[in-house]
Amino acid sequence: MITTTQAQQYDIVVPHCCLLGEGPVWDEQTGSICWIDLLNGRIHEYTHAANLFRTLPVNDLIGAVALCENGDFIAGLKEGLMIVNRNNGTTRLLQHPEAHLPQNRYNDGKCDPMGRFWIGSTSLNNTVKAGNLYTLNNDLTCAIAIKGVTMSNGMAWSPDNKTFYYIDTPTFEVAAFDYDIETGQISNKRIAFTIPRTEGLPDGMTIDSEGMLWIAHWDGWQVARWNPDSGRKLFSFRLPAAFITSCTFGGDELQDLYITSACAGLSEKQHEEQPLAGSLFVIRNCGFKGMKPAIFRYP
C-alpha cells in the first residue's frame, strides 16, 4: 500500500486547548467554526471575519453538537438530547433514550442529509457493547439504528446519499450500510475496510465531495484520507498531537480542513512534548472540498 504523508502547514485557530476537543461543525451562515470540549462541557465558536472567540458553557458532559435551522444547537448532553440556545446556553430537553442507563453518556453525533440527528452512546465504564446509535427524527421521535456498540464515533453519508459509514472505534472497522434518505433506515451492513492498528484508533470522520473518507486517528498523530471502496489509505496530514479526535470541512468553499484534538490522558512528560495537544487545527486550502453541512430540522 503506497501512501503519502503530507507535512502541510497547519494553523492554530485560537490559542486555547481543550481537555477533549471534539465534533467540529461549520456554520456557513455566520462563517464560524464550532467545536466542543467534551469533558469541560463547553461549546466553542470562532468567527474568522470578526476574529471573535466565544465559549458557551452547558455544565454537563457533551458528546456532540449540530446546527438547527434557527441557528441554535442540538446537542447530546449526559442528561439527554437537548436544544441549546446559542445566545445564552439555556437548554430544552427533546429526548433522553438512555435515561434508564445512567452509566452511559452520549458521544459522537451528526445530522444526515434530511436533517435527522444521529447520536451514539458509550459506557462511562468502558463496558463493551453497552452503547447504541440513535436517530432523532424530524418529528422528534427517537429510534435505535444500531444496537450494542462500544464507542460510537465517526459518521458520514456518501455524496449520492445511498451509503452510511460508521465507526465503532475499538473494532478498527469502518462499516458501510445501505441508506434510505426518505425513511432514514439503514440496512445491509458490511465492513468497508479495517484500519491497521499501527495507524491509531479511528475516531471522528467526515467525507469529501469525491466520496473519500477523512478519519481522525486517536493515538495516531494524524488525520488520514481513505478510499472506502478499496480500503486504501491515500495520504495523511501529520499533526503535533497524538490524540486527534475529529475533523470537518469549512471555509467559503469548504476548502479548509478543521481538526480537533485532546490532551486528556497525557502524562506530564507528554504534555511537555505536545504543548499544542487539545488545540483546534486548520489546514487551509487543503486540496479537497467537503460536503455542505446538514442542519437539524424539527417542528
- The beta-strand segments (E) located in 7-61 are 11-12, 21-27, 32-37, 42-47, 52-57
- CB-CB contact of 134 with 122 (8 Å): no
Residue 127 and residue 121: Cα distance in Å, rounded? 11
Give catalytic status of residue 27 as yes or no: no
**Which DSSP string do the residues of 230-285 spell out, in sequence order?**
T--EEEEEE-S-SBEEEEEEESTTS-EEEEEEB-TT--HHHHHH-TTTTPPEEETT
Catalytic residue among 27, 72, 203, 256: 203
Q: Using alpha carbons only, what angle is made at residue 13 by residues 296 and 283, rounded to the nearest 5 degrees?
A: 85
DSSP class of 169: G
Residue 265 and residue 147: Cα distance in Å, rounded? 28
Q: List the catalytic residues.
A: 203
